[in-house]
Each structure stands twice: as structure tokens, then as C-alpha cells.
Structure 1
Amino acid sequence: MRMVLLSALCLVGLAVPATASGAPPPGPLRWEPCPVAGSAEPQECATLRVPLDYRKPHGQEIDVRVSRIPAKRPDARHGVLLLIPGGPGSSGLNRPSTVDLPAELRERFDVVGFDPRGVGKSTPISCAMSPEDNGRTMPWPAPDGGIDANVAQGKRIADACRRNGGEVLPHINTKNEVRDLDRLRQALGERKLSYWGLSYGTYVGAVYATMFPQHTDRVVLDSTGDPRTVARGWLANYQIGVEDRFPDFARWAADPANALRLADDPAAIRPLFLDLAARLDHKPLPGLTGNGLREALLRNLYTDKGFEPFAKLMIAARDGSPVPPQPQPPEDVLQNTSAIAVSTICNDVDWPGSVKAHERAVAESRERYPLTAGMPVNITPCSFWPFEPVKPVRITDDGPSNVLMVQNMRDPSTPLAGAREMRRALGDRARMVTVDSGGHGAYRANGNACGDDTVTQYLLTGQLQESDSFCP
């Protein structure tokens, strides 16, 4: 991995490229109003041109759409706070207007968002997946644990991406997103970036801090995965994270004050869920299968607000009553999100292809982690991927001490165990504040004043705490 070696220089008419990739410096951004419905914030947008293939820096370019809300107090402006979205596949273009940030941060930072390459308004991609595959990229095994249907689906999705993904899809990976962000830094005229990476965005942020450490200012990584497994671990995280998080739902679902109370004792909620899922495996309701119930559990554990709709779904499954409608994004958005999610995880690292090994892993996971029924370790389209993956970036402790990690104790998607591995990898570069909360996303997400204040003060002052801390 080559680092940035040279700044933009002019030596007697000789222009030196700004990055080690050899790409010419980006042109100035031309901002225009792009207000977000329902927000009074004066958001503006611009288009950044980036190389499609950084190995061909003077070749074809694609668009990355970016947004910003300038600092409210220009006299006190510190720089840019870049919001790195999760996913992979999430749009970040409207986040400067919609994200909950303290007023003092908005006074001091230009808040900047973007759609990563291939997403939303940034030269979007699609695999034109069939209706049976679109949006169904979580590989739930059959009720008996068999994975033949997952093998067939993985081959179909990989083939659809090969046929329909176009010239951009093979260049969707974390390294290229990071290179795009450094071009954005240059286009913004900033020597250093401060950023808040969320979920998958924490991996993007950690890779940026590894590839371009000298261009980092104040770094916040919120809800972090294990850097040792990279994309191969992102699904596997769920088998641990859902087990960590489920007791929060069980306590809520057995609370005597809860109008949707499902049992008298929290200990009864788990067997009730497992029984309902098994019943639906063998006798689905219209619009709800056993795996549909399991996926709804996973989705609704992300926030406490998800507990109520999931309890209503369990009640429908228990009573055989009509199933509440499940929200679905528009077809084109789902195609785009699915294509980005699959192409990122498959392009980021080489995946094992043995069907027999996946069968064994699924059987073991179903035994140890029944809430997720083997899905997190099942086979994916990556085992049949037609494009050459990149070599992952190894996260190390080489660089400035300017990374603050914030992590919920009971995160269903990026469990605490994985965040601790990232903390170890970063060494003295980082400090971690652990928040006694559940759900995915810690900063400004749970009403934990201790955790929120720790992050806010770091972004305002740039001063890391002396050691890791815990917020009850």
C-alpha cells in the first residue's frame, strides 16, 4: 500500500500530482443549493470527479456527489467534519441536514456528506437482480439447515452482477472509497480531515487513517467491526451480536407495564421466539416465513424503537392474525443498495468457495446461535464472484494518536468483541469509550449523556482522553 508522498507543488512550471496514485489534483467544487425536504438547514451540493480505476489515474472518471452545510460561525471555524455512512450501500448525501449534531459542532465545522461511489447520485450501479433475489442478500438456510438454495442464489447474483454491473462495479471497494475521500479533502482545500464513521463507515475511516494518516485530524469510529476478518466477518458478527442484544428485547417484552407484553418472565421470550420461527418454517403465514421473522428480529434490534413493531409481528405469528406490513424501499433503491453491498464485500477480500465447509459452518452455528439459524456463516455470492478482489489493508498502530472509538455494549451488528479487536489493532492511536446501551450506533443515538459528551468534547478540543472509559 503506497501512502501519499507529495503535496501539490509548482516548480518552474512543473506541476507535481497531489497523490501517489498519480491522479491530477481535482478541480474546484462548484456548489449549488440542494435543500432537504423537512429541514431548514442551508445544504449545498457539488460533484467531485474521481478516477474510475486509480491504476489508470488519467483514464475514465466517475462522479461522487457531495454535500455540505458551512460552519455557522466562520470566525470560529476549525475545518471539515466528514460524515462517513455505513452499509455498505447507505447514502450519506442528506446526512448534513438530517444528522443530530450539537450546535457547537455545527458552529465550528463545515459538516460534509457524500454518496460513496456507485451509491445514489454517485454514478449508481445495479446488478438488475431478479425479483426473487433483489434485496434478499442475507443467506438464510432452509428450515432443515440445507444450503442448496443459497448456493443457487449466490451463483445467480454473482452472474447477474457480472452481466449487468457495468464497468463501475469491479471498482467498488473500500480502498477506492478511501482514495475518493482523499481527493475530496483536496477539493475542499483542507490539509486534514476530521470525520465520524458509522458502522461500515468505521472500517472506511480506519483504512483512511492507515493509508493517509498525515491527513487525519479528529477521528471518531462509532460501532466498529473486527479488522482481522474484514468483510468476511460482517455477516458473522450477527450470530454474536444478536445474542448480546436479545436480552434487552426480552426484558422489554416481559415488562408488566408494557401493553404488548409477551410473557411474564424475560426468560420465556427466547423459547417463544424460537418456537414461533420453527412453526412458521413449517406453516408460513401470508407474508411471513420463519426466516422472515428471524430477519425482522435482526432488523428491529438496531434500536429500541424497533421493539414495538417486532412484538406486534410476534403476536401476529402467535395468533395467526394478519401480518403488519413490512417497509420496503423502492425497487431501484433496493437494486442499488443490494449491488453495492454485494460488490463491496466481494471485492474487498477473497472468499472461500467450499460448499461442504459452509454446510459444516451453518450446522455448527445453528447449534450454538439458534436465534440466527446459521445465516451469518452461510455461503454468499462472493464464493462465486467473477472479479478479482483487492488485498485488504492491514490496520495497525502506525500513525498519530487521534482516534476515538465509541461502542455500545450490546450491538446486534458490530458486537463489542469485534470493536475490542479494532481497539487492539490501533494500539496507542486510539481510545475507546464503551456505553452501557444496546443497539447499533452509539453517538447521539441512545441518550447516554456521558458517551455523547465524551465524543462531542473530543471533536471540539482534539484532546483524547488518557485511557479507555466506560459510560454507565
Structure 2
Amino acid sequence: MRWGPCPAEVAAPALECTTVRVPLDYRKPEGRQLDIAVSRLVSKNPGQRRGVLLTNPGGPGGAGLSHPATLVNPIFPEPLPRSVQDTYDVIGFDPRGVGRSAPVTCDVTPEQIARRNFPYPNDAADVVRDATISKALARQCATSATAWMLPHITTANTARDMDRIRQALGEPKISFLGASYGTYLGAVYTTLFPRRSDRIVLDSNLGPGGYDRTGFRRLALGLEDRFPDFAKFVAANPQYGLGTTPKQVRAKFSELAARLDKAPAQGIDGSLFRGITFDALYVDAGMPGLAAKWQALDTGRPLPPDPVPADADNLISSRHHVVCGDSRWPRSVRSYQRDVAEFRMRYPLIGAAAANITPCAFWPSPIEPRVRITDRGPSNVLMVQNLRDPGTPLAGARELRRAFGDRARMVTADQGGHGAYGLFARNTCANDAVTAFLTTGRRPARDLACAAEAS
């Protein structure tokens, strides 16, 4: 491998980059190839170095080339500890179809970008409307200039790419630190390559089906778990004027959503309001800004525009390639109408959005069966999970824990937000357990529950 400077948009001190050639179709390993962009931060302590730690920040659709530099950046409250940096060369990569690794496109329009992830249907007619929009996006993906890659942009193939990266690095095994969707990627890797897996850390866990229909609908439960933290914050800060009790704050959510459904303000309708609320609650640091947005919408004050990512087309396109290519989704519009009606009642915050139809209903059938996560393999997996995670709720983590059996231990932290280890996560008990596993291999003898800590 020949390492050199990284592209300007991901350049960071000591970060170096290269590419690794992988097959487009692993059933035809000598056929068409893709270049996977790979980065590394080399251990500064060769005497302590154990091997390589591959990383993934989540997604799907998330670029990972700059992730090693992000993990060690001191601007975050909890960067990757020096002991972990000394133990490994920290490896990042853009998954196939993403960023610098043969990026896919669906020719996504500005109007489609503006819909964001969570279009919220208020009735059965809205589901029919969303089905038409979803069908159009699926058709765009299937007819774009990168449609030849469409069947092969899957989690299983990305896991196979990880093993090609391992081979290129000359390592007998790899350790892994994956967050959010990265937990499913790590679970698939260690299932396909159990004897090539060293120490596997899965932070903020999807269920064993990844972002399948069940995983996507669980987002409704995730916000219900997480919202009380925000309601408590707002109630304790009366300057926002949004309620002085958690019950009043929840009522204000319903009031604002209904008002914006009828009369959007500053380009924000009820659907977008719900999505903004969901996104902001991934970290506690997002709460003051979210409360200020609610206040502005409630009082008619102007809001600063939300920036549109420069790579929005690739973000949306690659996410749909993976989510829709990993598993089969229902194709009946009527079944989504039934689910939406049920979830609107069961999970009032965003239930209808989580149950709504997506382009996956119109996607070609996957070309290989989904990888089944089991308990076969070494006991080298440590899961870490917040109790109140909106994006990957505890229910999915518990299901993955059961699927792994004795292969895994799980550390739960009594805190909210998405991400239980490092960066914004401040639970010392959970952070120390993960760091000890990565640096020494010691796992808790049994699942560990970490109590809440004072903020």
C-alpha cells in the first residue's frame, strides 16, 4: 500500500490516505473493480501497538474517511483516549458508494432533498402521495449513471470490503469501533469473518436486521424514549416560554406540529418540524438550539436557514442503496396506510413518519439473502448503549444482544442521546468499560448497567 496526503476536504494533522481495490461483485472477484478510499492515524507508540482499529461513524450513507481525525479531535468533550490511539492504527474509510469510494447518485432534486428523512403523513391520502414520490426516487436510482452499482451497494459487500482492507494492511485480524448503522456493519463483518475479528465494539445498536422495516419503525419508539429528556430541559428553562412542566412541553409539540401542518411558517411544515425535533435530540448539546427554534416558530420570529450539505445527493442516494438493498420491504401501499394509522396512535410524536412508505417499496429484490446474526464465533463483542437513544433505541440493542448470545456483553448507560462512547458521551462507567476492552481485551463478566452521572 502507498500512503499519501488525504483529499483537501478531509485533510487533518497526521491523517494519511490510500485506496484499496475491491470487486464490485464478490461472486465475480476478477470482474469489475472499485476503489475504496482508506485513511489512517498511525499509533505513536509502536511498543504498545496491537493492530488496527477500523471505524465507521454510521449512516448508511455516512463518509468515514475523516472519522479517525474526528475521533481524536480535542474539541469534543470525550475524544478517543490516548491509550486507544497508542494501541491501534486507527483506520477510516468511505464505504462503497459513498464519498471518495465510487459514489452513487440518484439525481436527487432540491425538492426531494427538502423532504428530508421523515415525511409525516397525516392521512391515507398522504401515504398515496408519498408512494408516488418514493416510486419516482426509486426509478431515478435505477436509471442513473451509477445504476450498474445498485445491486452491489449493500452492508454485506461493505463488510467484505473491510476484509479486503485488512488483507491490504497485512493484518491477520482487525478490531472495529462502529456507531449507529456501524453497529450493523460490525455485526455483519464479525458474522461473515468471525476468525478475522479481534475486538469488536458496537456503539448505539441497531437490531439484528439493521435498517430493515422493523428497524426503521423503531425510530418512533426512539423519540418517545428520548423526548422526556428534552421536555425536562425546557420545563427547567422557562425563558423559552414553551411550558413549565414536561406535560406542557409535550402539549406544545402537538400544538406546533398541528399549526404548521395547516400553515407552514418560514418554509417549515409540520413534517419538517417533527424531523428537526428528532434530529436535534441526538445529543444533549442540541437541546438549547432546538428550544430556540420552537420558540421562534411559536412567536413568529425569524429562523436562520438550515444549510444544505454539499453532498446531499450522495448522502440520500447511498442511504437508499444500502437500506433498500439489504432486505425486502413490503410493496403494498395499503399495508403502509394501515401501519401509519396504527403508529400515529401508538407513537404520537413521529410514529406516522417512521411507518411511512419509502423508495424501498419499489426497489429491485436483493440479489443475496440478508446475513443472519448468530451466536457462532468467538466471545469478542462489546455493545454499549444509552437507555434513551432516539436513533437506535434500547429495544433493538436488546434484540441484537440476544442474537449474539455469549459472543457479546452489553454495557448500558443511564443517559440520553445517540452515541454512548466518546465524543459527546460523558458516562465514565461506560467509557471506561469500552476503553478497557479495546486496550486490554477485558470485558465485563456479565452485562453491565452504568448509573446516571451528574451533568
Whether the aligned pair in 1 keeps the contact of 2:118 and 2:271 (CA below 8 Å) is no
Q: Distance in 2 between matches of 1:197 and 1:38?
A: 19
Contact residue 35 and residue 44 of structure 1 kept, 8 A: no
Q: Which amino acid aligns with 1:321?
A: R
Question: Which of 90, 93, 103 in structure 2 is aligned with 1:114?
Answer: 93
Match of 1:208 among 186, 189, 202: 189
Q: How many residues align?
A: 441
Residue of 288, 293, 306 corresponding to 1:326: 306
In the alignment, does 2:388 pair up with 1:416? no
Match of 2:156 in 1: 175
Q: Is the 8 A contact 1:241 1:410 kept in 2?
A: yes
Shift of residue 40, structure 1, vs aligned partner: 6.1
Task: Verify: 1:127 aligned to 2:99, yes or no.
Answer: no
| CA shift digits 1:106-148 (9 cap, x unpaired) | 1121010000001000111111022221363535243345312
Q: Aligned partner of 1:344: which letter?
A: V
**Counterpart for residue 297 of structure 1:** 277
After superposition, residues 157-306 of structure 1 pair within 5 angstroms as: 157-164=137-144, 165-228=146-209, 230-256=211-237, 259-260=239-240, 262-306=242-286
Q: Offset of 1:98 from its aligned partner? A: 1.5
Does the 8 Å CA contact 2:118/2:272 hold for their aligned counterparts?
A: no
Q: Secondary structure at the match of 1:143?
A: coil
Select between 385-394 and 212-221 the one with higher mean Cα deviation: 385-394
- Give the direction of change, closer, same or farther, for the CA distance of 1:183–1:38 in structure 2 (3 Å limit): closer
Matched, 1:138 2:110: no
User: d(CA) in 1 for partners of 2:298 and 2:181?
Assistant: 35
For the residues of structure 2 that align with 1:63 and 1:166, how far apart are their CA atoms?
Answer: 17
Aligned to 2:76: none
Secondary structure of the residue aligned to 2:113 is coil
User: What does the per-residue CA deviation read over 1:138-162, in whole Å, with 9 as the maximum and x for residues that have no partner?
Assistant: 3524334531211111110010001
How far apart in 2 are the matches of 1:52 and 1:328? Answer: 30
Q: Secondary structure at the match of 1:168?
A: helix
1:339 has 2:317 as partner:
yes
Match of 1:459 among 419, 438, 448: 438
Aligned partner of residue 112 in structure 2, secondary structure:
coil
Write the distance in 2 (CA, Å) between the matches of 1:386 and 1:38: 34
Report the counterpart of residue 75 of structure 2 in structure 1. none
> How far off its partner does 1:453 sit?
0.5
The correspondence of residues 92-107 of structure 1 with structure 2, limited to 5 A, is: 92-99=64-71, 100-107=79-86
Q: Give the distance between the partners of 1:137 and 1:311, measured in 2 at CA.
A: 20
Q: Greater shift after overlay, 141-150 or 242-251? A: 141-150
Instruction: Return the letter of the residue paired with 1:397.
Output: D
When residues 36 and 419 of structure 1 are mapped into structure 2, their CA distance, relative to the original with a 3 A threshold, is farther
Distance 1:432 1:112 in 2: 24
Deviation at 1:373, TM superposition (A): 4.4
The answer for the alignment partner of 2:23 in structure 1 is 51
Q: Which amino acid aligns with 1:273?
A: F
Q: Bigger relative contact order, structure 1 or 2, given CA contacts below 8 A and separation 6+?
A: 2
Q: Say if 1:36 and 1:43, in contact at 8 Å, map to a contact too.
A: no
SS in 2 for 1:374: helix
The separation in 1 between residues aligned to 2:96 and 2:34, in whole angstroms, is: 8
Distance across 2 between alignment mates of 1:41 and 1:218: 26
SS in 2 for 1:364: helix
Q: What residue ranges of structure 1 are gaps of 5+ in the alignment? A: 1-28
Distance 1:426 1:152 in 2: 39
CA shift in 2, pair 1:103/1:36, >3 Å:
farther
Deviation at 1:233, TM superposition (A): 2.5
- The correspondence of residues 397-412 of structure 1 with structure 2, limited to 5 A, is 397-412=375-390
The AA in structure 1 aligned to 2:59 is G
CA contact (8 A) 2:44 2:86 kept: yes
The letter for the 2-side match of 1:225 is: L
Alignment RMSD (CA, Å): 1.6
Greater helix fraction, Structure 1 or Structure 2 = 2
Displacement of 1:300: 0.5
Deviation per CA, 1:448-469: give whole Å up to 9, x if none: 1111000000101112210001
Judged with a 3 Å threshold, the aligned counterparts in structure 2 of structure 1 residues 162 and 398 are, in CA distance, closer, same or farther, namely same
Secondary structure at the aligned position of 2:265 is classed as: coil
Q: For 1:360-439, what aligned pairs fall within 5 Å after superposition? A: 360-386=338-364, 388-439=366-417
> TM-score when scaled to structure 2?
0.94
Match for residue 2 of structure 2 among 30, 36, 50? 30
| Seq. identity, % | 49
Cα distance in 1 for partners of 2:283, 2:315 equals 21
CA 94–36 in structure 1, closer or farther in 2 if over 3 Å, else same: farther
Could you tell me how far 1:75 is from its partner in structure 2? 1.6
Q: Is the 8 A contact 2:98 2:318 kept in 1?
A: yes
Alignment correspondent of 2:136: 156
Normalising by structure 1, report the TM-score. 0.90
Work out the CA distance in 2 between the residues paired with 1:265 and 1:390: 51
Asked if residue 65 in structure 1 is aligned to residue 50 in structure 2, the reply is no
SS in 2 for 1:42: coil
Report the Cα offset of residue 234 of structure 1: 3.0
Structure 2 residue runs of 5 or longer lacking an equivalent are: 72-78
Partner SS, residue 194 of structure 1: strand
